[in-house]
Amino acid sequence: MNYFSSNFKLGILGGGQLGKMLLNCTRKFDIHTCILDASNEAPCKIASNEFYLGDLMDYNTVYNFGKQVDVLTIEIENVNVDALETLEKENVKVYPSSKTLRAIQNKATQKLFYVDNNLPTAPFTRFAYTSEINDAIENGGLTLPFVWKCAQFGYDGTGVKIVRTLSDLKGLPNVECIAETLVPFKNELAVIVARNASGETKTFPVVEMEFHPEANQVEYVICPARIDDDVAKKATEVALNVSKAFNHVGLLAVEMFQTESDDILINEVAPRPHNSGHQTIEASYTSQFEQHLRAILNLPLGRTDSKVGGVMVNLVGAEGYTGNVVYENIDDIMKMEGVTPHIYGKKQTRPFRKMGHVTIVNEDLSKARKVAEKVKKTIKVISK
């Protein structure tokens, strides 16, 4: 099929920043794009060929949108999977598939998938409601501490809480959830696997993620991860095994823990471009966004190694500020060597909302990490 400067239409469910960065590549290749999003202010609106306003969880909306395109992909997991399943039966190509998405959308189902496929993950208990956890603790079926995760619709640190005492359960929504053993770990790592419909597979280098202690959000992504080669090899093998088990097409970001004893445990996965791959835009031969396009269109996959060391800093809304966004000191960070800001185009900021990211590249990774710290301290995402 001719995708370039043709009648071919690529549909993307979700119009957020991941879609916006994907559209940089579709514009580069002159691929016609259609976006569906619930917000009229979605970052993707200005860069797509066709923009549709609608609820991603509504069956008819997703189905009717999908009927107009040749290939359908996602930039967010919270979409109506039943509609995707119907579209597949009617020969619309959907990547990732409804089957993959159904397994991943629900964290309890996702964890059971790892167990069923002998993939290493932390022990967990599944609950229909959070209120059942107290009984499990009293009866000795569950011991503190553990990580509480809501099964559905959690993102960017929402829907996750470390429970060390019973009082930590107060205020948590009474929803389907899992209680996961708290794993003592040295590092949080991620590997992005790309796979096209022909089965060609490539992995990006292992990255290391440094988290904000309160917001449970990634503050820095460091590539390559500062780990031993044998640990990197093990993490890559685990990621490839996960990809093989899901038999997915597109990108699969596999987040993992490196335990104190250097075992690798899967935390969770995302079947789309991911926060842990943003540095690939400046630091790699092929960005994760171009690779996602190549994979879902069954084109040859691009080279995945890095040209240079890269560190990514998330720009999130400062605490105490809600309203029309103002970015302070961007000109100051742009004076620093190797710094590229990416602003997502969200008009409204609120505490810890992802508003952009900054990539720092340097042949010397430790220098890039120092500049990243400086960037973090200099730039401020506030409101008028």
182 is in an annotated binding site: yes
188 is in an annotated binding site: yes
71 is in an annotated binding site: no
267 is in an annotated binding site: yes
Closest CA to 316 of 351, 274, 289, 287: 351
Angle between helices 288-296 and 17-29 (to 10 degrees): 70
Closest CA to 18 of 189, 202, 213, 156: 156
379, 358 contact by CB (below 8 A) = yes
DSSP characters for 116-137? Answer: HTT--B--EEEESSTTHHHHHH
Is residue 43 packed enough to be buried (19+ CB in 10 Å), middle (13-18) or exposed (0-12)?
buried
219 is in an annotated binding site: no
Distance of alpha carbon 344 from alpha carbon 305, whole angstroms: 26
89 is in an annotated binding site: no
183 is in an annotated binding site: yes
Query: Which residues does 259 contact at the CB level (< 8 Å), separation at least 6?
Result: 183, 184, 185, 186, 265
Largest CA distance in the chain: 64
88 is in an annotated binding site: no
180 is in an annotated binding site: yes
**For the chain, how many helices (H) and strands (E)?**
11, 21
Tell me the sheet residues that pair with 177: 127, 150
Q: Which residues are annotated as a binding site?
A: 107, 149, 180-183, 188, 267-268
Q: Which residues are annotated as a binding site for ATP?
A: 107, 149, 180-183, 188, 267-268
